[in-house]
Amino acid sequence: VLEHRENELTLQKERIKKIIPKLEALKNPNHSQARVRFFQGVDGVKEIYEDTLRTPDITIHALADPCCSCTTMGDDIDDWMVHYVRRRTAQNIFYKGIWVKSNTGDKVIRKRKSSKRELKMIGELDLPVVIFVYGPRTAIVSAHHETVGLIIENKPIADTLRNIHQAVWDMLPDYDLAPDAEAPNLSNAIEVLTE
């Protein structure tokens, strides 16, 4: 019985070996397969942010709602974010963000200092995730219900999303602060975004 089973497995192995070249021939050699990595929790989000620092002298194209970003992750990420922004700036990594217009966004714009960051605001839009496009990668982070994220490493996907970001960016007017906009009292994370 074992010998019979072993022969069957050997035959199946040979069939698979014959099929593999045919399957590889179907694959488009000009497109590489996307690599996707998943992350959970605050430490996972930190790892995603760290990944944005691995290629110096790039631009991070971002789409976010400041009310749904790191502000919902708690105080334990605040100090870390201050350090992250300083390291990003030191590595000459520019941040080009489209943020949902809000009192929180107004506060960030008012307090924003020179940190290699340029922001434009978009009207009311439900964005419970943050999207970063950098180099050949796209990162998506959600801290809305649970803190999770992923990185997709695929140049065509990143290029497409970067081009969409740029097209939207070009259509947005320069940000105009509301004269008496008061931001709600949020965690220190908003202060971090202005570093």
Report the amino acid identity of residue 97.
G
Cβ-based neighbour number of residue 43 at 10 Å:
11
CA-wise closest residue to 182 among 86, 85, 103, 68: 103
CA–CA separation, 101 and 153 (whole Å): 29
SS3 61: strand
Min mean pLDDT across 90-94, 168-172, 175-179 is at: 175-179
Q: Is the pLDDT of residue 186 over 50?
A: no
Q: How do the domains of the chain map onto residue ranges?
A: 31-193
Q: What is the rounded average pLDDT of the residues 40-46?
A: 92
Which residues are CB-neighbours of 42 under 8 A, at least 6 positions away?
A: 73, 74, 76, 77, 147
Return the CATH number of 31-193, one of 3.90.180.10, 3.40.50.2300, 1.20.1440.80, 3.30.870.10.
3.30.870.10
**Contact in structure between 66 and 99 (CB atoms under 8 Å):** yes
- Which pLDDT does position 193 carry in this prediction? 45
Distances (CA, A) of 24 to 4, 32, 74: 31, 12, 47
Residue 177's alpha-carbon distances to 8, 10, 106, 111, in angstroms, are 73, 72, 6, 12
Separation CA 149–CA 38 (nearest Å)? 6
Q: Give pLDDT tens digits for 122-161.
A: 888 888 899 999 999 999 999 877 889 999 999 999 999 9
Question: How confident is the model over 14-18, as a mean pLDDT?
Answer: 82
Q: 52 falls in which pLDDT band (50, 70, 90)? A: very high
**pLDDT tens digits for range 102-122:** 887 777 667 656 678 888 988
CB 141 within 8 A of CB 45: yes
Q: How confident is the model at residue 51 (pLDDT cuts 50, 70, 90)?
A: very high
| Block residue for tokens 């992350």 | 39
Which three-class secondary structure state does DSSP give residue 177?
Answer: coil
Local structure of residue 67 (DSSP, 8 states) = G
The runs of H, that is alpha helices, within 27-90 are: 41-52, 78-90
